[in-house]
Structure 1
């Protein structure tokens, strides 16, 4: 029986928890020295792949700071529990005004624990910032949010990921994807899960077709293999970027797909030079060929 995926303490829309197993199966058939993610987000994929060495970067410095503080021991399960119990009591008694007081406090002087509190008490766990970099998600209207069982769940998640991180050589950094990809070396394995063009834009996740094109060009020039996940289609349209950037066989790039129709989610994996057809076929078997 396979173990359930390891879930991070941050709640993020579009989190890859359900795809982590498939991505891990792709990674398992590769030999690599270092795992690199230029869009690490909640870090759910790295936490489930659990590479010995990793460079995990994101443009959202608040996410990176949280993981750095868990790694460094500044945030412990005990400290997180104490904070969430205290703040949860205030939210329960004061309700909506207290949520906005914490949001104002965070926007004036950000801390990782306030970030975690807001992430867990805002509307649907949305992580959105305005053009000035200020968190602007409204209240989730759940004053009883931080009940004992919920706080225990979060602190257990912090404990477990702290154990994983402490057993590995991981570097967390706030960085642009271009800077991160430029650091890739032969023997690395890059996993990229970029924002979806035209589907979600904010201060930390602005993303355009030009960005998608640049990412595609940079990925194809990497000196190592890579895995890319992106959306495939919904009831209104398909993702034209897949055919535009990832079906170019003239670049010796073999692409395979995992399609989840119920979520319109696709994981595609590209293996770059040195090209080995045996490795590519192994990857295709792991996720299935793209349907014609």
Structure 2
């Protein structure tokens, strides 16, 4: 099924490239979930999803526990509130709400669809501050899609903790898909794929955790930029006979120049004992 929300760097367009490697596992784990496009495509019977964005994870929890009520709340928002003034009023309300209410999850979904390019960004005070977008239509999943997602999420443990804590949970026969903020390179750093809090040292640390998970018998899949430095660090961490490197050409969903239609190359690394 389609992901319920859109997210910067979402992998729905990569499914055909990732799909051949989504086999022979007991449990699926995504430490950087975002839109969880691979998860929704795979439909695993046993999974872990994690994201540091608590409101995103709370949205998934409300889809799991209250799918029909949440959908009705969302539909009510879109019936009368897609104008610019309503967007900013709802953005203010969202920033004032605490906890895991249905109302906050409904507004979270609304902002995800109506905000500029579906970006989720907060300022230093934790205030969501993305301006309204220029969308003319909005994709809202149907009731059957919400119910399907709800059933899938009932087989899934949802967390909003550090990815390191999730990697500690990895065991034999797990399939771990890592889609971190990208290692900085000349094409990724200006479009929101990188995160100043997740720089080079954090990527090297992530590879150490991947090595530990691989030693336990897990299969590791990593999406990242086409950085030679990251590739060198990866091949120093693992025996090259365990690595399959795949180049993926894609159009970036966020680009500072709207007229720039160039395609970019990103990398998919599959690390497993049986190639």
Q: TM-score, normalised by structure 1?
A: 0.76
**Deviation at 1:46?**
0.7
Query: 1:99-248 maps to which residues of 2 (within 5 A)?
Result: 99-109=87-97, 111-142=104-135, 145=137, 150=138, 153-156=139-142, 159-160=144-145, 162-167=147-152, 169-198=155-184, 199=189, 200=192, 206-222=197-213, 223=216, 224-232=218-226, 238-244=227-233, 246-248=234-236
Aligned residue for 2:122, secondary structure, equals: coil
CA contact (8 A) 1:96 1:141 kept: no
Question: How many aligned residue pairs are there?
Answer: 247
Asked whether 1:38 is paired with 2:34, we answer no
Q: TM-score, normalised by structure 2?
A: 0.81
**Deviation at 1:201?**
7.6
**Deviation at 1:89?**
4.1
Query: 1:52-63 maps to which residues of 2 (within 5 A)?
Result: 52-63=45-56
Aligned residue for 2:22, secondary structure, equals: helix
CA radius of gyration, larger in: 1
State how far apart, in whole Å, the 2-side matches of 1:40 and 1:15 are.
9
CA contact (8 A) 2:30 2:178 kept: yes
**Deviation at 1:160?**
2.2
Q: Check 1:49–1:85 CA distance in 2 against 1; reply closer, same or farther (3 A cut).
A: closer
Q: Any idea what the Cα deviations from partners look like across 1:246-272, whole Å, max 9, x if unmatched?
A: 22276466211221233312211112x
Unaligned runs of at least 5 residues, structure 1: 1-5, 233-237, 281-292
Superposed CA RMSD:
2.5
State how far apart, in whole Å, the 2-side matches of 1:24 and 1:132 are.
39
Unaligned runs of at least 5 residues, structure 2: 99-103, 250-262
Q: Check 1:166–1:86 CA distance in 2 against 1; reply closer, same or farther (3 A cut).
A: closer
